[in-house]
Amino acid sequence: MKLLIVAVLGIGALTACGSSTGDGPAPAGELTVVATTWNGWDPDFRPTPATTTIATREGETATFQCLGDTIELRVSEVGDGSVTLDLSQELAPQTESGGSNHNELTDEFEIEVDESVSFSTPTLDAGCSYTVELASA
């Protein structure tokens, strides 16, 4: 089981690192995180991807540096076919239309097998977006 972090670099560095503190059960499948730095004011902005992985066991973490902020993602619960993630700060969940809901920020997300969840920093000018997917084995 792995947490794959694709960090896209641009106006700010986005990095990830793993921790091996988890000793709980891991669900069947793989947890994938795609992290992207975005910029709403520079039409010439071109991001560059980078990757890191961690296991999907309870207590596992990934730390992101996003435009001067540190955001930690932690696997808080592993269920039969689902994973719950805690974030060190509240982020905006993605809406069905592809935008972000800045009125209902949250610091916890649950992902079911073969589903994804997306969220981003609650800003309109530049920030980071994350898409997390739990694929079946």
The pLDDT tens digits for 82-121 are 889 999 999 999 988 888 899 999 999 998 988 989 999 8
The DSSP annotation for 43-91 comes to: TT---EEEEEEE--STT-EEEEEETTEEEEEEEEEEETTEEEEEEEEEE
Cα–Cα distance between 21 and 113 in angstroms, integer?
A: 23
Note whether 9 and 50 are within 8 A (CB). yes
> Within a 13 Å sphere around the CA of 100, how many CA atoms are in the beta-carbon half?
21
pTM for the full predicted model: 0.74
Q: Report the pLDDT averaged over residues 43-72.
A: 77
* 5-34 confidence digits (pLDDT tens): 333 333 333 444 444 455 555 565 677 888
φ, ψ at 56 (rounded to 5°): -100, 50
Tell me the β-bridge partners of 37: 128
Average pLDDT of the residues in 57-64? 85
Q: Residue 45: name the closest of 15, 10, 8 by CA.
A: 10
Q: How many residues does the chain have?
A: 137
**Token pair recorded at residue 73:** 């993602």
Q: Specify the pLDDT at position 23.
A: 57
120/136: higher pLDDT: 120
